Copies of this chain bind each other. A is one copy, B any other.
Amino acid sequence: MTHEDFMREAIALSFQNMEAGHGGPFGAVVVKDGEIIARGFNQVTSCCDPTAHAEMVAIRQAAASLQRFDLSGCVIYTSTEPCPMCLSAIYWAHLDAIYYANSREDAAAIGFDDLMLYREVCLDVSQRSMPMRRVLQDEAMSAFQAWQDKVDKVAY
């Protein structure tokens, strides 16, 4: 199968599940060794889960399927450029590459705020529209010190 074949599957998922009323027009597949090991589609509204973007669903399913939190050796095909949430999840999962079709500008043009989100994420904490306030930093630091001292931790 070619890049185009895998992307067609992601696009088909975006169509089918939008038509079925599951959520926005977004689909994704995770591929390992030339085979699709996970499929995702947007389920934000139908599952009452604001994190259930196509890529997130596909990554969680791939990790569960492989029983690994590290998806090195896999790539993702997504019908739209990942938003900062999904892009970050792709980094945390250590996927090898991203193939995408629609861009963040295309998404913004049909009402999805990916462009705004990229702007906000890159602002300094004090400049964001989201109020952010720091409290109890001394108490929280002790958990970090305990992590550093922990001898049996599973790092990632």
Contacts and interface: CB of A to CB of B under 8 A. Distances in A.
Contact of A25 (B8, B49, B79, B143): B143
A127 to B, nearest CB: 13
Contact of A152 (B21, B86, B89, B133): B21
B71 A110 contact: no
Contacts of A143: 11, 14-15, 18, 25, 27, 79, 102
Nearest to A90: B130
Contact of A132 (B3, B7, B94, B98): B98
Pairs A-B, 7 closest by C-beta atoms = A101-B140, A85-B88, A50-B93, A122-B122, A25-B147, A97-B131, A45-B154
